[in-house]
Structure 1
Amino acid sequence: MRAKAIIVATLAVLALVSCLTGVSSLSGDGIWLLFYSRLPRTAAALLAGAGLAVAGVIMQMLSRNKFVEPSTAGTSQAAALGLVVVTLLAPGAALWAKMGAATVTALIGTAGFLSLVRRLPPHDPMLVPLTGLVYGGIIGAATTFLAYERDLLQYLDIWVNGEFSGVMLGRYEYLWLAGALTVIAYVYADRFTLAGLGEDAALSLGLNHGQVLMLGLAIVAVISAVTTVTVGMVPFVGLVVPNLVARIYGENLRHTLPIVAASGAGLVLACDILGRVIRYPFEIPVGTILGVIGAALFLWILHGRARHG
């Protein structure tokens, strides 16, 4: 209980710092900036971080491997492919249409990854993330090729590079869908925990494994698509946060899922603040900051696993 109170207090402090950090002053007529930019940006970082962390832990449960997340399993790359395809077919499509196309391709991409994982030998867990990296690389290469052939590389960079500088009131609200799916994931937390035991064990305990698998796929795909369409790809959140929380609190999602969501939200918001102050008054995209910090945390996780056998 004390840990949860500390996390909530930390999130509140980070949110306050985020609202007060920026080039423009909030005094006088600048107060409108708080409501049209700073608050939406803070909310977007919190929602994206929480959603991606929850999507990561669900994917790890479904694949029964601790080293996968949407950006290392082809889900985010598939969502980007959907964005490029819908842009080629319907350049003037509304944002909800692009999000729908990205969701469909992300769902197909995630299902394809899980299908590949089932064919891998279970004795070597590192084969799963390696397969995911190759799988995502192939999808990413196809996306880049399509964008290059149609002179859309700059457009693709804008969509896939994770950053919050363009978030304003009216341009982030779809991320609340990721927040709603986080709540749904908590409602089904016990089922995802059982699914993580494996299909045979889950069926013996009376769980409809196929139904839970489809629900998990849908949650991961929609969260990945909404995040990619709104703020771009944000790496490592779904990988390092669930692993760090599991080390401290275990793997019962009913107990740990709120901590995972809050920790993911705090990590993304902290990195966004850091990106705004390192080269003030310029900004470093949050995807770049998380790429460095997330990689360091992941290496630490790998080192800890090796040290403890």
Structure 2
Amino acid sequence: MAHHYTLFIDEAGDDKVDRLKPDFHDGNSEWLCLGGYLVRAEVEPDLDRRRDEILLSFGGQRGGVLHYRNLKPKNRLLAAQKLASRDYPARGFVVCSYKKTMIGHYNERAASASGNPRDVLFNFVGRLLLERATHYVVNSAPRHGIRDPVLRIVMASRKGHHFGRFKAYVAQLMNQAVAGTTYLNTREIKAGVLRWNEIERATASQVAGLQLADVLVSAFFQSIERASPHYGDKVARCLLPLMAERASRPGVSTSRANEGVTFYPATRVAKLLTDEQSVFFANFGYDMDALKGRKAMKHVQALSQADRMWSQGH
């Protein structure tokens, strides 16, 4: 087998950064979320069964398409609970970008390079997701007796997104990581686990792994998107056992914050969140009081989310 792990990636929300909800009733989403459902390669043949079991749990059909948005509220809860079950070994990742930090931003160089200015935000959030997932694979592989792990990436096809340029962007990040030139390298992609020919896209309705990723990312999106009619349901809390944890080390306990669950840019966004949103992210390990405190604000990087989207090293 050419790979040891597969990360299925899907998104929720849009990538437009003007006229945002809830300030504009007919506007664009407040958040853009990318979610990843990570499994070991030997588990992949079981994903159709997992999808079918979820569908059958609320009267769906075997071999059908699992689409979170089309489910009734009680069935969304059932789907999330089953996805987080120990019977379904996997790890989840989600990156939630608060788009208000991007209002009014335009970078001609980034737009020219991406071919579509909206791809800049989407690809950058994808970068954050891959940073976390590749680190997890590197740390997880030895526990399973895997040397030199390879991660396959399957991304849901998305209208208007230039997949070829996304792959080129990932390749550039890989080269920077190897050369030690990653810009603002608080984290960087673990290039050794990625291969150009193992980054692909597929139609979500035809791939069970992408449908499971849809459940994950959609549950998070609806739990934080204030304009969603299901904002109050907070279904994503059921996914806590699924989400990847940061390994403990002396003086630092395990946490899903900024690991399996990331909201970005945390130090800038924390004070802008509603009480409900703050409580939600605290449930996954974020110390919201610390993020809102003066000490945290003193250590905020000079670059905003928008500024960090593009640099000489991006």
Q: Same fold (TM over 0.5)?
A: no
Higher strand share: 2
Higher helix share: 1
In the superposition, the TM-score normalised over structure 1's length comes to 0.26
In the superposition, the TM-score normalised over structure 2's length comes to 0.26
Indicate the structure whose relative CO is greater, using CA pairs within 8 Å and at least 6 residues apart: 1
